[in-house]
């Protein structure tokens, strides 16, 4: 059974007219670990899209990723990061996705952690 304090989420909104949107579900996975599961619709089929957790907001992300996530493929990604759920929810972090490894400067979705 998952209690509210053991999980969190982020609403992932489209950026740059990508049409990609979805949700990130964050679940406590230990004292200092969090499982991050992404479910995104509207993206390209079969393309590996880099995804990261950054410090900051979607309008003003720190360009250096704080926690890299497994690439999004066919709208799915699952990663366990070495950070507590509490620190991610209270630390001012956002999850963002890139169009592709070749077009990493183009953001296609973003959502602040704790936005749902």
For the chain, how many residues are written?
A: 116
Domains for the chain: give ranges and CATH numbers.
Answer: 4-112 (2.60.40.200)
28-63 residue pLDDT tens:
998 899 999 999 999 999 999 999 999 999 999 999
82-98 residue pLDDT tens:
999 999 999 899 999 99
Residue 93 to residue 43: CA distance in whole angstroms: 23
Residue 99 to residue 107: CA distance in whole angstroms: 6
Residue 74 to residue 50: CA distance in whole angstroms: 12
Residue 10 to residue 19: CA distance in whole angstroms: 17
The pTM for the full model equals 0.91
């Amino acid at each position: 059974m998952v209690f509210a304090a053991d999980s969190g989420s982020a609403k992932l909104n489209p950026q740059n007219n990508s049409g990609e949107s979805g949700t990130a579900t964050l679940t406590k996975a230990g004292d200092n670990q969090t499982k991050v599961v992404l479910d995104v619709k509207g993206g390209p089929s079969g393309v590996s899209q880099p995804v990261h957790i950054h410090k900051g907001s979607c309008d003003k992300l720190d360009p250096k990723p704080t926690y890299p996530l497994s690439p999004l493929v066919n709208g799915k990604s699952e990663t366990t990061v070495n950070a507590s759920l509490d620190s991610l929810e209270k630390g001012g972090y956002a999850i963002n996705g890139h169009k592709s490894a070749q077009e990493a400067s183009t953001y296609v979705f973003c959502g602040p952690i704790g936005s749902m």
